[in-house]
Structure 1
């Protein structure tokens, strides 16, 4: 598994993901975006220093996306999001891609903290995030609307120092 920067030729695969209602519900976003809208978004943000988008590749195939969003260089924080296509789930790709993206956030961008939002019912994702060292910082009631109802969301974060400690602990195992 590798992550690499998102390129224009990846948009067809991203379009597939962004049009899957179940998948986009986990990102608390509306599905069914036109390809033209996606291209415009790509062109608008290609040089944006406040986000980084990476493709997850497994054996040369597009397997998903991991993104660093809302990068704020004053408090040195950003949000992380990940989506793995259904045929690639169960292979720990989300965990490995997030580890790589966190390394980029902390060691390249020099972020102090990376955070995420996760549906409180998404137990597999919460398990992965905790394994990576994210800590629950709070629960927001009815924060997002998805699948026809308002959903509660956990806010989780990891500090650079805790990421480094977690990595050291793993290397000693």
Structure 2
């Protein structure tokens, strides 16, 4: 897989994914239906958007299918303190195929080795058991719990905050830095 900029022709993959309310519930809120024209316009705007700082939305592309398999977004990138956050969404046909793990590794490696960041954070909903297991497997530490922050399917859920330092990342890979 590769991480790349969103292209205007990606609109259809995003439009199909937008209709998957179960997947949307795991990473964000469920948005109202969007027209084909609106989906095309959104993808075009994303493709033309200038990257500012280190807060980006990147497409995760499957090398096997040459299709968009999801997105990874960086935000609250703080160069002074060397920390950043990310969010991840893998489209349903690509679930449980290693795309999330590989995308996170690529992103962390780039931010730690090329941009000199030293800490990454991720927010995970308490009902997203697969994401919790993934972050634990990647060596992230549970650093906090925001109680009853997310409303989904008729009840409130906690939002978990996971963090991983560059040193922990390298140790997890069996490397020293």
Same fold (TM over 0.5): yes
**1:121 alignment counterpart:** 127
124, 127, 139: which one aligns with 2:145: 139
What residue number does 1:7 align with?
7
| RMSD between aligned residues | 2.3
Partner SS, residue 174 of structure 2: helix
Alpha-carbon distance, 1:86 to partner = 0.9
Deviations 1:71-101 (A, max 9, x none): 1222221111111111111211111111111
Aligned match for 1:49, one of 31, 37, 53: 53
Distance 1:3 1:12 in 2: 18
Runs (4+) of structure 1 moved beyond 6 Å? none
Contact kept, 8 Å, 1:28 with 1:146, in 2: the verdict is no
Assess if the C-alpha contact under 8 Å between 1:15 and 1:38 holds in 2.
Answer: no
1:22-37 aligned at under 5 Å gives the runs 22-32=22-32, 34=34, 35=38
Tell me: CA distance 1:93–1:39, structure 2 relative to 1, closer, same or farther (3 Å): closer
Q: CA deviation at 1:17?
A: 2.6
**Structure 2: runs of 5 or more not aligned:** none
Structure 1: unaligned runs, 5 residues or longer:
none
Deviations 1:40-94 (A, max 9, x none): 8627853322412222222112211112122122222111111111111121111
Give the TM-score of the pair, scaled to structure 1. Answer: 0.84
Task: Number of aligned residue pairs: give it.
Answer: 169
20-29 or 81-90, which moves further after superposition?
A: 20-29
* Equivalent residues in 2 for 1:62-77, closer than 5 Å: 62-77=68-83
Q: TM-score, normalised by structure 2?
A: 0.82
Distance between the aligned counterparts of 1:45 and 1:147, measured in 2?
34
